[in-house]
Amino acid sequence: MAPRLRGIGKSYGELRVLDGLELELDPATMPVILGPSGCGKTSLLRILAGLDADHEGSRADFAAFRFSFVFQEPRLLPWATILDNVLFALAGSELEGEAARSRATALLAESGLGDSLDRRPSELSGGMRQRAALARAFSYPSDFILLDEAFQSVDVRLKRGLMDLFLELRRNEGRGALLVTHDPTEALYLADRVIILSERPARIVDDFAIGLGREARKPGNPALAPFEARIYRGLNF
């Protein structure tokens, strides 16, 4: 049975952000949570990961899971090499020494950064930095990868490359994942399942599967049109 969030609610003082969210996450599918900016998507991720205990409802099903993260900005240590950046995160796992190093090196190579292990973030392009952030998240031995607007900081062309890399790494590494974003094109490209949140306080207003294969996800494919229309309806466009 897939793990569930049950009756999740969250307020910051008088401000009600999340309200009674019920969410079942099957690690085998790729859910994308869509919602307007500031609706509480990041708060939901933090609760899911167990970083914010001050909420209503239960995340007990997720207590035993481990999470790794990809943020909107790469969040790399500017003084450290790309390899050392990944090793820094791996220090929080049970991987040590040579095992950690070979894991980090392999994932960076798989992400197209095999020639850049000794370069610092300032020596890389924005797209390469975000690739390093993806490699860091996948090299960390987690059950779920949580992505917080992770493809927002790059242009459309790079975004496509990053999303392809993410899909490839996920296929090879077999992890559960959850992306929160405000961009419908990311959901149409990546999601097996789309969950749409309302404005604050966020409630689930729609939740549906996109049963199309990878090839059918190319922008402009007429088969995507009904899903796109449903997303924009859910977002009140």
Residue 138-157 contact track with other proteins, rule CB under 8 A, x = bound? --x-----------------
Shortest Å, Cβ 179 to other proteins: 16
Q: How many of the other CB atoms lie within 10 Å of CB of 85?
A: 25
Piece of the chain touching other proteins by CB under 8 A; list 75-83, 111-119, 124-132, 208-216: 75-83
Nearer to other proteins, 87 or 187 (CB): 87
Site size toward other proteins (CB under 8 A) is: 19
What's the residue count for the chain?
Answer: 237
**What are φ and ψ of residue 62, in 5° steps?**
-100, -5
Q: Closer CB to other proteins, residue 69 or residue 189?
A: 69
In whole angstroms, what is the distance from residue 140 CA to residue 151 CA? 19
Q: Does 49 bind other proteins (CB under 8 A)?
A: yes
Binding residue for other proteins, selected from 7, 12, 22, 51, defined by CB under 8 A: 51
User: Shortest Cβ distance from residue 134 to other proteins (Å)?
Assistant: 14
Please select the residue that binds other proteins; options are 15, 58, 60, 92, rule is CB under 8 A.
Answer: 92
Query: Closest CB to other proteins among 84 and 228?
Result: 84
CA 194/CA 25 separation, integer angstroms = 12
| Residue 147: Cβ within 10 Å count | 24
Q: Partners of 148 in the beta sheet?
A: 180
Residue 231: enclosing H or E segment and its boundaries?
helix 225-234
Residue whose entry in the numeric block shows the structure tokens 């609706």: 39
Residue 167: Cβ within 10 Å count: 16
For residue 228, the number of C-alpha atoms closer than 13 Å in the C-beta half-sphere is 13
At closest approach, how far in Å is the CB of 7 from other proteins?
24
Question: Quick one: 150 or 235, whose CB is closer to other proteins?
Answer: 150
**Alpha carbons 212 and 224: distance in angstroms, whole number:** 8
Q: Which of 17, 31, 47, 68 binds other proteins (CB under 8 A)?
A: 68
| Site residues for other proteins per CB under 8 A | 49, 51, 67-69, 71, 73, 75, 77-80, 84, 88-89, 91-93, 140
